Amino acid sequence: MKNKKLLLVVLALAIVTSLTAGTLAIYTKTVTMTGQVEAKKFAFTADGNIENDAEAINLAPTESMDYLFVVTNLDGKTPAEVPLKYNVAIDFSKASDNMPGLTATLYEKKTANGEYEVVATGNSTITYNDATEANTAAQHDYKLTLTWSGTDNDGQTVAGTQKVTYEQGLNVTVAAEQAV
Amino acid sequence: MKRSIQILMLLLLVLTSLNAGTLAIYTSTVDLAVLQVSAKRFALDVNQGGQSEFDLKIAPGELVSYQFDVSNTNADGNVSEVDMDLLVEADFSNIRSTIPGVTVQLLLFGASGYEVVAQADEAGRLGYSKSRMFTSGEAAVQHFSITFYWDNGESARALLEGSRIILPLTLYVKGVQHAD
């Protein structure tokens, strides 16, 4: 019995001693690697103006006016490093409500021949989607043509006689986001 | 029981993953244009005087006239923003058939005073049109006179033996936006 107790005490001492006496030396080596994390560039611009530097769209029946705008994925000359998808939202519903026959046509200049081609039409709103590639400079030229046509002579005459005017008659919004 | 707990846990996992949010991406929105849209003003005003001036009384051998002014401005003095054609039309067939020997002419005031620009035909129809009588943005007034001359002939004397004759008189002045 005494021997067994003694044996347990010795074993406990051996464990405690091994835990507190430190570890054996071994080879170690640490290699420090430094680098950087950089956010990829996001660039998107849109700008435009009415033809002939007009400040407003003022139409009579049978007439048209153009709003020209450009969308790019550039910051200066540096293109975005991520692919973008963007949406062009055009709303002229307030004006078209009281200018019967008012329509809009969205054209995009195709780089192949440099001419504008119709990409969307509408009589109160237009929505159009397009995209740009990463690391490739892109400039998309658009022309929005508002035309007042139609056969409602009475309605158009009322609008002209009243000189209907809408301060926010045409809203063009371009929203871009990283394509994932 | 265990199976139902497993399904419940799985459902919780799915819901948690859905509600945990989406990954951030680059986005940009450009309010490109908020433009005023308006209808070009269309204005046509006819100063036709009082009703008594248009109630004409005529006897054989007399010349009576009715004068009216046409302008491309509205009551507030605002000028029409479109070129305008002008049409003056009337149907005097009942006068021609009831009072034989009446000549109806439309005169326009020009550099040499009033000049005849139209005359009612044998059927009594009178029509006058002038393209671009008014220019957009330029206020102008055109002075017209319509004259009735009753020839003092045999037919007129024969008619005088009858009762008093009162005939309606209607004249249409129409402005139309000029379109090429």
Domain with residue B69: its CATH number is 2.60.40
The CA-CA-CA angle for residues B161, B165, B171, to 5°, reads: 145
In a domain, B107, yes or no: yes
In a domain, B20, yes or no: no
Record: contact B28-A156, CB cut-off 8 A: no
ipTM for the assembly: 0.76
Query: What pLDDT does B163 receive?
Result: 61
Tokens of B108: 């326009």
Query: What pLDDT does A141 receive?
Result: 96
CA separation for the pair B171, B67 (Å, rounded): 12
In a domain, B23, yes or no: no
Query: What pLDDT does B1 receive?
Result: 57
Residue A21, pLDDT above cutoff 80: no
CA separation for the pair B134, B174 (Å, rounded): 12
How large is the average pLDDT for residues A108-124?
A: 90
Identify the band that residue A166 occupies on the pLDDT scale cut at 50, 70 and 90: very high
What residue type is A78 in one-letter code? T
First to last CA, chain B: 84
A5 by DSSP, 3-state: which?
helix
Nearest CA in chain B to A178: B26
Helix (H) or strand (E) holding B98: helix B93-98
Contact with chain B for residue A162, Cβ under 8 A: yes
Query: What pLDDT does B173 receive?
Result: 93
Query: What pLDDT does A55 receive?
Result: 92
How large is the average pLDDT for residues A10-16?
A: 77
A174, A87 contact by CB (below 8 A):
yes
Count: domains in chain B: 1
Contact with chain A for residue B22, Cβ under 8 A: no
B46, B69 contact by CB (below 8 A):
yes
In a domain, B160, yes or no: yes
CA separation for the pair B2, B8 (Å, rounded): 10
Residue B53 domain boundaries: 45-177
Segments of chain B scoring below 50 in pLDDT: none
For residue B175, list chain A residues with Cβ-Cβ distance below 8 A: none
How many CB atoms lie under 10 A from the CB of residue A176?
Answer: 26
Record: contact A44-B28, CB cut-off 8 A: yes
Dump the DSSP string for B142-157: EEEEEEEEE--SHHHH
Higher-confidence residue of B53 and A75: namely A75
Helix/strand/coil percentages in chain A, nearest 5: 20, 45, 35
In a domain, B15, yes or no: no
Block residue for tokens 């080596």: A29
Query: What pLDDT does B142 receive?
Result: 96
Query: What pLDDT does A82 receive?
Result: 96
Record: contact B32-A174, CB cut-off 8 A: yes
A154 by DSSP, 3-state: which?
helix
CA separation for the pair B88, B97 (Å, rounded): 21
C-alpha distances in angstroms, B180 versus A133, B41, B70, B85, B159? 46, 18, 22, 11, 49
Judged by CB atoms within 8 Å, which residues 104-143 of A form the interface with B?
none
How large is the average pLDDT for residues A72-97?
A: 95
Query: What pLDDT does B25 receive?
Result: 87
Residue A83, pLDDT above cutoff 60: yes
Record: contact A57-B28, CB cut-off 8 A: no
Residue A105, pLDDT above cutoff 60: yes
How large is the average pLDDT for residues A28-37?
A: 84
Dump the DSSP string for B126-137: EEEEEEEEE-TT
What residue type is A21 in one-letter code? A
For residue A9, report the phi and psi dihedrals to the nearest 5 degrees: -65, -45
Q: What domains does chain A contain, in order, with CATH numbers?
A: 45-178 (2.60.40)
**Inter-chain contacts counted by CB atoms under 8 A, chains A and B:** 127
Query: What pLDDT does B160 receive?
Result: 60
Contact with chain B for residue A83, Cβ under 8 A: no
